[in-house]
Chains A and B, each alone.
Chain A
Amino acid sequence: MELFLYTALFAPLAGSLFAALFGASKKTKIAGIVPSALLGLSLLSSTVLLILVFMTGRTIHVEMMTWMAAGDLYIPFGFVVDQVSVVMMMVVTLVSTVVHVYAIGYMDHDKGFNRFFSYLSAFVFSMLILVMSDNFAGLFIGWEGVGLCSWLLIGFWYHKESASWAANEAFIMNRIADLGMLIGIFLVYWNTGTLQYKEAFAAMPSLDTAILTWMGIFLFIGAMGKSAQFPLHTWLADAMEGPTPVSALIHAATMVTAGVYLVVRANPLYSLIPHVGLFIASLGAFVALFAASMALVNRDMKRVIAYSTLSQLGYMFAAAGLGAYWVALFHLMAHAFFKALLFLGAGNVMHAMHDELDPFKMGGLSKVMKGTFVMMTIASVALAGIFPLAGFFSKDLILEVAFVEHHFIIYTVLLLTAGLTAFYSFRLVALIFHGEDRYKHFGIHPHEAYKFMLVAMSPLLVLAVIAGAFKMGYFGMVTELLPATEYHVHSAATYWIMTIGTQLFVMGAIAYAYKKYTSKDIKVPDGTSKMENSFGYKLLINQYYIPYFYENYIVKAYRELSEVFWTKIDQKVVDATVDGIANIFYQTGEKTRVMQSGNLSTMLKWMVAGTVALLSLAVAFGLAARYSVEIKTFLSGLGV
């Protein structure tokens, strides 16, 4: 079985290296096909592993080699395939295979085709390391590895200033969180003496709660960065500068869920500190609403989806925070499918619209892009959580969890968010695919994407529809590892009321969105309408002014402070002091060299002066010695 593990893990790496071989040469299809095929292999191996784990309940644990060993620290390259990681592996390999195949078409005309696949496969490799590692350090490798790949891919079109800026922003924000993660790891090491999950988690129950709390907090800070939770969320929307397949894979399906995975993985820890869990859940709920609200008005198709991702991540954290780890993981999985689908669909639209992102400039595309239309609609339905699509099973479950755990505020917020989700999703669908063909004003001639791209997307489509069906099997499997709490509303009546109520609420939101945005009056907003000038709209479109705040009060301050440090402190104080000391000597020399006037008479006077000076000192000393008694009495008389 280890063979499958290694195949699953290293096939993407091989693909990446293979593509990298062509990195500097001209675009060649093979650089896309081979990595995709290798990913397929990886997917296959993962499937085998999944079946194995599912069937036998066995987990596979290998230690490839030692990575670091110093003092008492011992970190191997160890990998584990257990119920949790195999789910993640499936998600990752599946989505990435789809995205790879899709990208062969999507990136068809790009100069950096080969490079792209190299990066993309490298990302998959890092992501697999992240999920398969059996210790925190390995997790961190993957953690940073996906960060790197994300940086490379966001900034893929590096000639665009905005792209490289967004890449750097993403990297640096993630780094801020990574510091927290690192500290969390240090805490784990110094308190449990190991970084292996198994031993570390085993040791945790005997630790002081305060320490565990800190551990939980710092590890979660790491998760916040990667999963773009408030206040480190701004990078995710900006990350949409990357090619759309990247957004689908990294910024929707996999990398951003790493934070959730971490919390799930560290469930023994978080189970011990429910207060931190509650915080996580609250933050999750807040982010869910917060992000959804920003998605309401945004006029960038990809950003809307990005905010939706953010919002869904909030859901996941809410679940994980409340201890429903398996629920969180389930939503993670389901979300990966439909959100990737949504993004890829958006990619098709972008292609068709020549990289136009404003849905107000589209409209009526359903006529030309049937396939895409269907897929995106289904994905949106799934996202909105309409029965019987994937979203219903996972998202409703989260609502139930909140309800069952008696966190009604969280519940209410999440419920509200569900409505908003439905609204903005269908706002998008409506604006893109229905209504007037507004794109004609811009002289664009949209066309459907390659067939094989649509075919490539189809597995996602299927999964987005049927994923809910796996719920029970999934539950049976993962609860071998995760707390097997079942969340049932006690009274059936309440359950039905809740479920149906939610469905109705959501559908209402969809209907409203359709009504509002399929109308013929929709025009490209030009900043004159009343709504656009309302405070709420401005707040939302400016993302609550948070990026503005960051730019003006943190980035700018940092830049200016750096400048001050360099020009004022380093040069004017520190270095000037050093030179000043040297100068003191030099200047003393220059000033006093006149003593050497070259005139013999002066020299003689110096000699005499020196002697006289010494003499006066001698006399003073001699007198003091001779009259020491008198001086003492005199001084004591003065009261000294």
Chain B
Amino acid sequence: MFEAIAFYLFAFLTITMFYIAVTTSQALYALSALAAGMIFISAFFFILGADFLGAVQIVVYSGAVMALYAFGMMFFDTTREVKEKQGNKAIIIGLSTLAALMVVVIVAAPIVGNNIEALYPSVDATKNVQEVGMVLFTKYLVPFEVAAVMLLVAMIAGIVLAGKKMDLSVTLMNEAEIMMMKEEDKNKKAHS
């Protein structure tokens, strides 16, 4: 019973939050709603006994990602109301309703899950973090490492793209301008 109440409560909350996130014209609202929604999602994780996931969700999403977005928002100065020209709303609504409906139609049908055996059974919910660690560092060691590489890539990408060097484009400059820029660079370095 508790589970049911919790599920519906959080379901309602997440749906509302995400709905606000995609519909509001205030970027700040959207951001807050998104963050809230994500925290509520972590609640599902806890309900489902995925403690580790819940923690990661809160830390990574609500913490890191949201912080990043918040910074970005300040940078873009989108705290004011965002005006978006909307084209044909019918298409959007129609498409999404259709999508949702159809998936729901199928999902609502009973899934044959009886004969599925757990490949990596989680025996005890309390030791979730430990188990996750176990699986993560055996079976999913490689993906984990690749994910690390991915984060590295993302980091480098972020640095490169947001970096100062992107302000001037060598691509658009002719040879003389490039030489001048180099000279300036050298001078600057010499000065400092």
Contact = CB atoms under 8 A, between A and B. Distances in A.
Whether chain A touches chain B in the assembled complex (some CB pair under 8 Å): yes
A615 B99 contact: yes
Contact of B102 (A602, A605, A619, A626): A619
Interface in A588-632: 601-602, 605, 608-609, 611-612, 615-616, 618-619, 622-623, 626
Instruction: Name the interface size band of chain A.
Output: 10 to 19
Contacts of B102: 612, 615-616, 618-619
Contact of B99 (A612, A622, A623, A626): A612
Contacts of B106: 619, 622
B1 interface: no
B98 A605 contact: no
Contacts of B91: 605, 609
Interface string B102-121: 11011001000000000000
Contacts of A609: 91, 95
B64 interface: no
A615 B103 contact: yes
Interface string B80-107: 0000000100011001101100110110
Contacts, number: 28
Interface in A336-395: none
Main SS at interface, chain B: helix
Instruction: Name the interface size band of chain B.
Output: 10 to 19
Given A605-B92, A608-B95, A612-B95, A619 B105 contact: yes
Nearest to B84: A601
Nearest to B86: A601
Contacts of A616: 98, 102
Given A605-B92, A619-B105, A619-B106, A612 B98 contact: yes
A601 B95 contact: no
A599 to B, nearest CB: 9
Contacts of A605: 91-92, 95
A214 to B, nearest CB: 76
A619 B98 CA distance: 11
A611 B99 contact: yes
Contacts of A611: 99
Given A619-B105, A619-B106, A608 B99 contact: yes
A611 B98 CA distance: 11
24 contacts: A601-B87, A602-B87, A605-B92, A605-B95, A608-B95, A608-B96, A608-B99, A609-B91, A609-B95, A611-B99, A612-B95, A612-B99, A612-B102, A615-B98, A615-B99, A615-B102, A615-B103, A616-B98, A616-B102, A618-B102, A619-B105, A619-B106, A622-B106, A623-B105
Interface of B: 87, 91-92, 95-96, 98-99, 102-103, 105-106, 109
Given A608-B96, A609-B95, A618-B102, 7 more contacts: A605-B91, A605-B95, A615-B98, A615-B103, A616-B98, A619-B106, A623-B105
Which 5 A-B pairs rank lowest in CB-CB distance, beginning with the nearest?
A619-B102, A612-B99, A615-B102, A612-B95, A612-B98
